[in-house]
Amino acid sequence: MRVMIASFAAILFLLPVHAFLSTWLGTTIGPLLVWKSWKEIVLFMILPAVVAYCCLRPDVARIIWGRLINKLIVAYVLLHVLLAFFTTASYEAVVAGLLMNLRFLAIFVLAQLIIASDHPWIERLKSWIPRWLLWTMFGLAVLAMLQVTVLPKDILTHFGYDKDSTIAPLVLVDENPDALRAFATMRGPNTLGAYLLIPLAVAAHFLYRRRYRWLSVIAFGLGFVALLLTGSRSAWIGFVVMMAILAFLLLPREKLWLWLKLSAVPALIVGVIIVWVAVTVPVARLAIFHSSPGDPHLLEGSTQKHWEATMESIQAIVEKPLGTGPGSAGPASFYNTEDVPKLSENYFVQIGQEVGLIGLLLFLAICIVLVRELYRQRNWLSTCLLASFAGLSCVNLLLHGWADDPTAMTWWGLAGLLLAHTSFGRDIRFT
């Protein structure tokens, strides 16, 4: 069990710097594919230990299998495996699709097993999580700010970053050389923006509860600035939704309604001002709409392409409601060398393309059961995960958010720790 706990903790700890380390080490030591897949390799290597532990502890196995959500996950996995035999995607794309769609569910189940084991290290793991999240955001935010201010634009090229073979060393807004987007050690700005929602929810909660005061204040401030510097509009929308859900979960109903009444008109005025500034000020227009003054309309460019890609993918689901197999759509489709990548810019639509409407319904059922279970628990982590899930769901409506391993594996790993809140009569709550 110690091996499983150590592996779980190592994965969570290294996820924020995974893209940087895998690119650097993969291009200097090699092979790149192995370094990119180290998380999946670790999960695969501890699989025999997981099986052996379940055989030695059938009581733990019954706890895990007795949950509806895990039965849904098994059905979801089996559907992926079945459709993998009928897909037209290449072998590499199928493997990539299976890993991207299932790795966060694997760490979710592993986390449940860890908590159900009732191992003494669990308490140490729980006490480590909040400060780790805050310090991680602190580090990412500082690096993100340096990245768009004082650091040379091409500094990451010294660590193996390359637009054509690994990761682009810099990302611009609408190809404007003066509009850098921050992504720190992540794969891109949208990945950083989505990941920051998790520690931002934690910092906001601790600010309200007055815990880790100085660290929460500094981390939240820096994290919010870094979120703005990513230029990730999906993450901005997710942040607004997340904070609204957090307020709903934390504030007393009387105070919540009072705040809504007092803030409704100011919020409307601020919204109108933001839209007016975005239309009239070139810098704001570039940041909010990713549209330059010379473009024919505000939505020209990435915004329009996002919408068109989603609608085309929905039409593909209508034509093939049973799906075209893992690896046939989403980021994994880049491994199909003989076919054009199919990006729907919507994770849920991507799942519908790959494993059909049945697979999409299974995934939605997994999410609903998990949200219901988290809502039943009243602790700081369940509150933060619920709020961040709402924000990340908005991100996944606009991007392939759960395909990004740092965000997906971190969120689902933490959710797995919470799902098994009791074990053998002893309360395992995050207070």
In a domain, 263, yes or no: no
When pLDDT is averaged across residues 31-60 and rounded to a whole number, the result is 86
Predicted TM-score (pTM) of this structure: 0.89
The answer for residues whose C-beta is within 8 angstroms of residue 200's C-beta and 6 or more apart is 137, 220, 223, 224, 227, 239, 242, 388
Confidence band for 306, pLDDT divided at 50, 70 and 90: confident
What pLDDT does residue 283 have?
Answer: 64
DSSP 8-state class, residue 420: -
pLDDT digits (tens, 9 = 90+) for 84-98: 998 888 889 999 999
Q: What is the pLDDT of residues 97-125, one digit of tens each?
A: 999 999 999 999 999 888 877 777 777 77
Residue-wise over 180-207: b if at least 16 C-beta within 10 A, else e?
bbbbbbbbbbbbbbbbbbbbbbbbbbbe
What's the chain's average pLDDT? 85
- Residue 105 forms part of a structural domain: yes
- Residue 133 to residue 156: CA distance in whole angstroms: 25
| In-domain check, residue 191 | yes
Q: Is residue 316 part of a domain?
A: yes
Q: Beta 171-173 vs 422-423: how paired, if at all? A: unpaired
In angstroms, the first-to-last Cα distance of the chain is 24
Band (pLDDT 50/70/90 cuts) for residue 284 is low
Q: Cα separations (Å) of 334 from 80, 104, 161, 164, 343?
A: 18, 20, 18, 12, 9
pLDDT at 426: 38
**Is 361 contained in some domain?**
yes
Give the pLDDT score at 56. Answer: 82
Beta bridge partners of 173: 176
> Is 413 contained in some domain?
yes
Residue 296 has what DSSP assignment?
S
**Which of 140-154, 172-186, 216-230, 317-331 has the least mean pLDDT?**
172-186
Residue 368 lies in a domain: yes
Tally the C-alpha atoms within 13 A of residue 75's C-alpha that lie toward its C-beta: 14
Domain membership of residue 34 as a residue range: 2-252+300-427
Residue pointed to by tokens 């815990």: 211
The total number of structural domains that make up the chain: 1
Assess if residue 70 is contained within a domain: yes
